[in-house]
């Protein structure tokens, strides 16, 4: 590979035009435009895996020799065949963290950063008052929420779990990759079951979750790029999409301290109904909604 150059290297514009005509863009990955995708794949062909955001930060693309150009064309073909960009690059940016990504867990989405920002704000308020905090993240997937909270608030003690051992293995690799291996305790099990012990009951300051919240019927109709490559376990929330959400609301108070917070993501259109369920439970003294740019509720916060 030769040195980088300031302008787009030969072959970039033609490949970008072709990709723009053939690439199907998904609404939950708005950053993966044809140009952004090609830059990621270009760097990957040159031997440097990186996220869309990191590729955009680079000022110039490298020149590719014949072997690298052939690798690039193969990567483009695989992307057009439906393989997620994050699976090809092995990278996904979340809350400023350059994370590892793969088929063992859900690819972190930008909408989940709404929950992460709100949870981190709560966490900082807690630690500013008490000096430390205990955090639990369930349905952790690749560990994106747990690790963003650990990175954003060094005074927090973070525990995280997932039903999938493969997901937890990826989360552990992410912790090593980000230099946070000593900051998070990883466990495998069903929702809060891994933490069902007297020492944890009633002691948690913040419990976060990005649960499966899509109805089984809708999962079956999702684009193949999603359901064909990412684990169904990360999406399928049961017949109505709220099976895990209902369990979370019911089980969380046992673990939260008085004044502790539950924070979780909800699917588009679920916010008001789930908020009413929180209120009807009688277990939470206050509730807050987190909305997206369109005013839709995408996360809920509730304090015991």
Q: DSSP for 147-193, please give it.
A: HHHHHH-TTEEEEEEES-HHHHHHHHHHHHHTT-TTTEEEEESSTTG
Last residue of a domain, one of 89, 120, 146: 89
Give the Cα separation of 135 and 43 in Å (integer). 37
* Dihedral in degrees, nearest 10, Cα atoms 112, 115, 117, 122: -160
From the list 216, 192, 202, the residue with the least C-alpha distance to 264 is 192
For residue 144, being part of any structural domain is answered with yes
| Cβ neighbour number for residue 154 with a 10 Å cutoff | 10
Average pLDDT, the chain: 94
The answer on pLDDT for 4 being more than 60 is no
- Look at residue 106 in the predicted model and tell me its pLDDT: 96
What is the rounded average pLDDT of the residues 57-74? 94
From the list 186, 197, 190, 202, the residue with the least C-alpha distance to 252 is 202
For residues 156 and 43, membership in a common domain is answered with no
Q: How many domains does the chain have?
A: 2
Last residue of a domain, one of 23, 55, 89: 89
Give the Cα separation of 42 and 85 in Å (integer). 12
What is the rounded average pLDDT of the residues 88-95? 98
What is the rounded average pLDDT of the residues 87-91? 98
For residues 141 and 225, membership in a common domain is answered with yes
For residue 141, being part of any structural domain is answered with yes
% of residues, the chain, pLDDT over 90 = 83
From the list 110, 115, 116, the residue with the least C-alpha distance to 289 is 115
Min mean pLDDT across 27-36, 118-127, 230-239, 246-255 is at 230-239
For residue 104, being part of any structural domain is answered with no
Please state the separation of Cα 126 from the chain's center in Å: 23
For residues 75 and 127, membership in a common domain is answered with no
The CATH number linked to 216 is 3.40.50.150
From the list 94, 82, 89, the residue with the least C-alpha distance to 119 is 94
Task: Specify the higher pLDDT residue, 217 or 118.
Answer: 118
- Look at residue 213 in the predicted model and tell me its pLDDT: 85
For residue 137, being part of any structural domain is answered with yes
For residues 205 and 81, membership in a common domain is answered with no
For residue 5, being part of any structural domain is answered with no
For residues 222 and 284, membership in a common domain is answered with yes
For residue 105, being part of any structural domain is answered with no
For residues 123 and 210, membership in a common domain is answered with yes
For residue 51, being part of any structural domain is answered with yes
- Look at residue 28 in the predicted model and tell me its pLDDT: 85
- Look at residue 233 in the predicted model and tell me its pLDDT: 86
Calculate the alpha carbon distances from 217 to 142, 214, 224 in Å. Answer: 25, 8, 14
For residues 180 and 73, membership in a common domain is answered with no
- Look at residue 142 in the predicted model and tell me its pLDDT: 98
For residue 85, being part of any structural domain is answered with yes
For residues 189 and 83, membership in a common domain is answered with no
Give the Cα separation of 144 and 235 in Å (integer). 16
The angle formed by the CA atoms of residues 279, 282 and 288, to the nearest 5 degrees, is: 35
For residues 148 and 293, membership in a common domain is answered with yes
For residues 78 and 163, membership in a common domain is answered with no
For residues 77 and 116, membership in a common domain is answered with no
Two tokens, residue 87? 């699976």
For residues 240 and 140, membership in a common domain is answered with yes
DSSP code for 265: E
Helix, strand, coil % (nearest 5) of the chain?
A: 40, 20, 40
CB 135 within 8 A of CB 149: yes
Structural domain of residue 48, as residue ranges?
12-89
- Look at residue 27 in the predicted model and tell me its pLDDT: 87
CB 278 within 8 A of CB 300: yes
């Amino acid at each position: 590979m030769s040195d980088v150059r300031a302008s787009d290297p030969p072959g970039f514009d033609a490949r970008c035009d072709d990709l723009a005509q053939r690439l199907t863009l998904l609404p939950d990955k708005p950053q993966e435009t044809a140009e952004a995708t090609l830059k990621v794949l270009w760097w990957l062909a040159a031997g440097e895996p990186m996220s869309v955001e990191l590729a955009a930060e680079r000022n110039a693309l490298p020149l590719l020799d014949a072997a690298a150009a052939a690798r690039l064309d193969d990567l483009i073909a695989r992307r057009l065949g439906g393989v997620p960009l994050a699976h090809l690059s092995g990278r996904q940016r979340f809350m400023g963290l350059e994370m590892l990504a793969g088929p063992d867990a859900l690819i972190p989405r930008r909408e989940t950063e709404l929950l992460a920002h709100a949870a981190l704000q709560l966490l900082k308020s807690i630690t500013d008052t008490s000096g430390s905090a205990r955090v639990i993240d369930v349905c952790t997937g690749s560990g994106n929420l747990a690790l963003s909270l650990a990175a954003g608030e060094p005074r927090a003690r973070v525990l995280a779990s997932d039903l999938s051992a493969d997901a937890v293995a990826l989360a552990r690799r992410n912790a090593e990759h980000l230099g946070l291996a000593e900051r998070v305790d990883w466990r495998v099990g069903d929702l809060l079951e891994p933490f069902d012990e007297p020492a944890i009951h009633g002691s948690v300051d913040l419990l976060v979750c990005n649960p499966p919240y899509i109805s089984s019927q809708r999962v079956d109709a999702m684009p193949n790029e999603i359901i064909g490559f990412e684990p169904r376990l990360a999406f399928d929330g049961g017949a109505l999409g709220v099976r895990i959400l209902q369990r979370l609301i019911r089980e969380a108070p046992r673990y939260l301290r008085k004044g502790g917070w539950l924070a979780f993501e909800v699917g588009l259109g679920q916010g008001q109904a789930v908020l009413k369920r929180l209120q009807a439970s009688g277990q939470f003294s206050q509730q807050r909604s987190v909305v997206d740019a369109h005013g839709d509720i995408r996360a809920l916060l509730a304090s015991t």
